[in-house]
Amino acid sequence: MIIAIDGPAASGKGTLGKRLAEHYGFAHLDTGLLYRAVARVLMDRNVPLADRDAAAEVAQNLDVSHLEDDSRLRGAAMGEAASVVSAYQPVRDALLAFQRGFGAGQPGAVLDGRDIGTVVCPDADVKLFITAAPEERARRRHLELLRRGEQAEYETILDDIRRRDERDMNRSTAPLKAATDAVTLDTTHLDADAAFQAALKIVEGKHS
């Protein structure tokens, strides 16, 4: 069973993906970490993010063994950088096989990202598109950064989120959009527990 979760930045899809995976005993992959890792390697090598060939080479040879443990991948700056390199078709092509292989694992998998239901796993058993108002997503991200002890300005985060939405939705390569057979869940007025219960109801309804 594959559960595909898509949605814009800070919509809550990562938290939701983890909880659904834990609930069902499935493996979970935050595919955004793959693109953040590509961006991190480029930045560590002082290679411009605009270097598409270098980004593709990094993606082809990416070490995916410690993604979840790398705290450097979690910051807002790395998210912005990931949004840049994820627009490159050769980068997406290089990471596609890994993502599909992950999704084929047993007994099941939950993958979250921007194009899981549309490109990576178009035959997923359940497809969710998680969204929320930009202002609410910025508020959540602001609180998250403050909890980590990072300095953050709400207005700056809101601007970043709007810019990433624009880039992700309008790129020519695998733009962010809901799959035609996805169920949209707006979490603007839902806390994490309520969002989980709503998603669980959708999954159970699809899989019953």
Known binding-site residue numbers for ATP:
7-15
Angstrom distance (rounded) from CA 29 to CA 109: 8
Termini Cα distance of the chain: 12
Which residues make up each annotated binding site? 7-15
C-alpha triplet 153, 159, 164: angle, nearest 5°? 125
Angstrom distance (rounded) from CA 112 to CA 159: 23
Sequence length of the chain is 208
- Work out the number of other CB atoms within 10 angstroms of the CB of residue 204: 10
Secondary structure letter of residue 73 according to DSSP: G
* Residue at token pair 């800070």: 10
H-only helix segments in the chain:
13-24, 32-44, 52-60, 76-85, 89-103, 134-147, 154-170, 192-207
| Ramachandran sector of residue 176 (left: φ over 0; alpha: ψ -120 to 50; beta: rest) | beta
